[in-house]
Amino acid sequence: MQKFKDRWEIQSGWQLLFPFLGLTSLLFSGYLIGKSILKSFGYLQTDTIYNISIIALTIFFASLLLVITLKLFKILETRWVVTYRWELIAIFMVFAITGSTAARISDPIISFIGLNKSTTTGWLYWPVRILLIFPIYQILLLIVGWLFGQFKFFWNFEKKMLSRMGFARFLKD
Protein backbone atom coordinates (compact mmCIF):
# COMPACT_ATOMS: atom_id res chain seq x y z
CA MET A 1 0.00 0.00 0.00
CA GLN A 2 2.86 2.37 0.76
CA LYS A 3 4.25 1.83 -2.73
CA PHE A 4 0.85 2.82 -4.17
CA LYS A 5 0.71 5.93 -1.95
CA ASP A 6 4.23 6.92 -3.00
CA ARG A 7 3.46 6.42 -6.69
CA TRP A 8 0.40 8.70 -6.54
CA GLU A 9 1.97 11.12 -4.01
CA ILE A 10 -0.77 10.57 -1.44
CA GLN A 11 -0.08 12.29 1.89
CA SER A 12 -3.46 11.91 3.62
CA GLY A 13 -5.95 9.09 3.88
CA TRP A 14 -8.76 11.11 2.28
CA GLN A 15 -6.73 11.39 -0.93
CA LEU A 16 -7.17 7.63 -1.43
CA LEU A 17 -10.75 8.49 -2.34
CA PHE A 18 -9.67 9.60 -5.82
CA PRO A 19 -7.88 6.39 -6.88
CA PHE A 20 -10.78 4.38 -5.41
CA LEU A 21 -13.36 6.43 -7.34
CA GLY A 22 -11.21 6.25 -10.47
CA LEU A 23 -10.96 2.45 -10.34
CA THR A 24 -14.67 2.17 -9.56
CA SER A 25 -15.44 4.37 -12.56
CA LEU A 26 -13.25 2.25 -14.82
CA LEU A 27 -14.98 -0.93 -13.64
CA PHE A 28 -18.41 0.60 -14.17
CA SER A 29 -17.42 1.82 -17.64
CA GLY A 30 -16.09 -1.65 -18.49
CA TYR A 31 -19.37 -3.14 -17.27
CA LEU A 32 -21.46 -0.75 -19.41
CA ILE A 33 -19.37 -1.46 -22.51
CA GLY A 34 -19.59 -5.23 -21.94
CA LYS A 35 -23.32 -5.03 -21.30
CA SER A 36 -23.95 -3.11 -24.53
CA ILE A 37 -21.86 -5.59 -26.53
CA LEU A 38 -23.76 -8.56 -25.11
CA LYS A 39 -27.06 -6.78 -25.72
CA SER A 40 -26.12 -6.24 -29.37
CA PHE A 41 -25.54 -10.00 -29.70
CA GLY A 42 -28.96 -10.71 -28.19
CA TYR A 43 -27.90 -12.45 -24.97
CA LEU A 44 -30.56 -12.59 -22.28
CA GLN A 45 -29.56 -11.39 -18.84
CA THR A 46 -30.76 -14.66 -17.30
CA ASP A 47 -28.31 -16.86 -19.22
CA THR A 48 -25.35 -18.33 -17.34
CA ILE A 49 -23.16 -17.52 -20.33
CA TYR A 50 -24.28 -13.90 -20.01
CA ASN A 51 -23.11 -13.70 -16.39
CA ILE A 52 -19.73 -15.24 -17.16
CA SER A 53 -19.34 -13.10 -20.26
CA ILE A 54 -20.25 -9.87 -18.47
CA ILE A 55 -17.62 -10.53 -15.80
CA ALA A 56 -14.95 -11.32 -18.41
CA LEU A 57 -15.84 -8.32 -20.59
CA THR A 58 -15.96 -6.00 -17.58
CA ILE A 59 -12.47 -7.05 -16.51
CA PHE A 60 -11.15 -6.83 -20.08
CA PHE A 61 -12.55 -3.38 -20.86
CA ALA A 62 -11.75 -1.96 -17.41
CA SER A 63 -8.14 -3.15 -17.85
CA LEU A 64 -7.99 -1.66 -21.34
CA LEU A 65 -9.36 1.65 -20.06
CA LEU A 66 -6.86 1.60 -17.19
CA VAL A 67 -3.94 1.17 -19.60
CA ILE A 68 -5.21 4.00 -21.81
CA THR A 69 -5.79 6.25 -18.79
CA LEU A 70 -2.32 5.63 -17.36
CA LYS A 71 -0.76 6.43 -20.75
CA LEU A 72 -2.76 9.67 -20.87
CA PHE A 73 -1.59 10.49 -17.33
CA LYS A 74 2.05 10.19 -18.45
CA ILE A 75 1.45 12.53 -21.37
CA LEU A 76 -0.65 15.10 -19.49
CA GLU A 77 1.47 15.06 -16.33
CA THR A 78 4.08 17.12 -18.14
CA ARG A 79 1.53 19.50 -19.74
CA TRP A 80 -0.76 20.18 -16.79
CA VAL A 81 0.56 21.90 -13.72
CA VAL A 82 -0.52 19.82 -10.71
CA THR A 83 1.03 19.56 -7.28
CA TYR A 84 0.39 15.82 -6.78
CA ARG A 85 -0.18 12.95 -9.19
CA TRP A 86 -3.49 11.95 -7.54
CA GLU A 87 -4.86 15.29 -8.75
CA LEU A 88 -4.76 13.93 -12.30
CA ILE A 89 -7.40 11.38 -11.29
CA ALA A 90 -9.57 14.12 -9.81
CA ILE A 91 -9.19 16.22 -12.97
CA PHE A 92 -10.17 13.32 -15.23
CA MET A 93 -13.21 12.63 -13.05
CA VAL A 94 -14.25 16.30 -13.21
CA PHE A 95 -14.10 16.21 -17.01
CA ALA A 96 -16.15 13.00 -17.12
CA ILE A 97 -18.80 14.19 -14.66
CA THR A 98 -19.09 17.61 -16.28
CA GLY A 99 -19.43 16.28 -19.82
CA SER A 100 -22.08 13.74 -18.87
CA THR A 101 -24.00 16.23 -16.75
CA ALA A 102 -23.97 18.96 -19.40
CA ALA A 103 -25.31 16.50 -21.99
CA ARG A 104 -28.05 15.34 -19.59
CA ILE A 105 -29.05 18.88 -18.62
CA SER A 106 -29.28 20.01 -22.23
CA ASP A 107 -31.98 17.42 -23.08
CA PRO A 108 -34.77 18.95 -21.01
CA ILE A 109 -33.70 22.49 -21.94
CA ILE A 110 -33.73 21.75 -25.65
CA SER A 111 -37.14 20.05 -25.27
CA PHE A 112 -38.41 23.14 -23.43
CA ILE A 113 -37.30 25.28 -26.37
CA GLY A 114 -39.43 23.02 -28.56
CA LEU A 115 -36.74 21.19 -30.48
CA ASN A 116 -37.03 17.44 -30.77
CA LYS A 117 -34.46 15.17 -32.38
CA SER A 118 -37.11 13.23 -34.28
CA THR A 119 -39.03 16.26 -35.60
CA THR A 120 -36.20 18.76 -36.16
CA THR A 121 -33.65 18.51 -38.91
CA GLY A 122 -30.16 17.61 -37.73
CA TRP A 123 -28.82 20.75 -39.38
CA LEU A 124 -30.74 22.81 -36.81
CA TYR A 125 -30.92 20.45 -33.84
CA TRP A 126 -27.22 19.69 -33.37
CA PRO A 127 -25.82 23.23 -33.74
CA VAL A 128 -28.43 24.55 -31.29
CA ARG A 129 -27.69 21.72 -28.87
CA ILE A 130 -23.92 22.29 -29.05
CA LEU A 131 -24.37 26.04 -28.58
CA LEU A 132 -26.57 25.29 -25.57
CA ILE A 133 -24.22 22.72 -24.04
CA PHE A 134 -21.13 24.96 -24.33
CA PRO A 135 -21.99 27.58 -21.66
CA ILE A 136 -23.55 24.94 -19.40
CA TYR A 137 -20.35 22.92 -19.66
CA GLN A 138 -18.15 25.91 -18.82
CA ILE A 139 -20.11 26.73 -15.68
CA LEU A 140 -20.35 23.09 -14.58
CA LEU A 141 -16.62 22.62 -15.12
CA LEU A 142 -15.88 25.30 -12.55
CA ILE A 143 -18.52 24.06 -10.08
CA VAL A 144 -17.52 20.39 -10.24
CA GLY A 145 -13.84 21.37 -10.27
CA TRP A 146 -14.43 23.34 -7.08
CA LEU A 147 -16.22 20.37 -5.48
CA PHE A 148 -13.21 18.17 -6.28
CA GLY A 149 -10.76 20.76 -4.93
CA GLN A 150 -9.42 21.67 -8.36
CA PHE A 151 -10.96 25.11 -8.92
CA LYS A 152 -7.62 26.83 -9.56
CA PHE A 153 -6.69 24.31 -12.27
CA PHE A 154 -10.06 24.62 -14.00
CA TRP A 155 -10.21 28.39 -13.72
CA ASN A 156 -6.82 28.59 -15.48
CA PHE A 157 -8.01 25.96 -17.99
CA GLU A 158 -11.14 28.02 -18.73
CA LYS A 159 -9.21 31.27 -19.14
CA LYS A 160 -6.75 29.63 -21.53
CA MET A 161 -9.48 27.97 -23.61
CA LEU A 162 -11.74 31.01 -23.79
CA SER A 163 -8.85 33.33 -24.65
CA ARG A 164 -7.96 31.04 -27.55
CA MET A 165 -11.54 31.39 -28.74
CA GLY A 166 -11.30 35.20 -28.70
CA PHE A 167 -13.05 35.89 -25.39
CA ALA A 168 -9.93 37.17 -23.58
CA ARG A 169 -11.41 40.64 -23.05
CA PHE A 170 -14.14 39.13 -20.82
CA LEU A 171 -11.66 37.33 -18.56
CA LYS A 172 -10.40 39.99 -16.23
CA ASP A 173 -9.08 38.54 -12.93
The pTM for the full model equals 0.77
Q: Among 15-29, 35-49, 92-106, 129-143, whose mean pLDDT is lowest?
A: 35-49
Percent of the chain's residues with pLDDT above 70 = 96
The whole-angstrom separation of Cα 92 and Cα 98 is 10
Structure confidence by residue, pLDDT tens digits, 122-142: 888 888 888 888 888 999 999
The whole-angstrom separation of Cα 82 and Cα 91 is 10
* Phi, psi dihedrals of residue 136, rounded to the nearest 5°: -60, -45
Examine the pLDDT at 173 and tell me if it is beyond 60: no
Q: Where are the domains of the chain?
A: 1-79, 81-173
Q: Among 61-65, 74-78, 96-100, 114-118, whose mean pLDDT is lowest?
A: 114-118
| Residue 89 and residue 153 in contact, taking contact as beta carbons nearer than 8 Å | no
Instruction: Give the end-to-end CA distance of the chain in Å, rounded to a whole number.
Output: 42
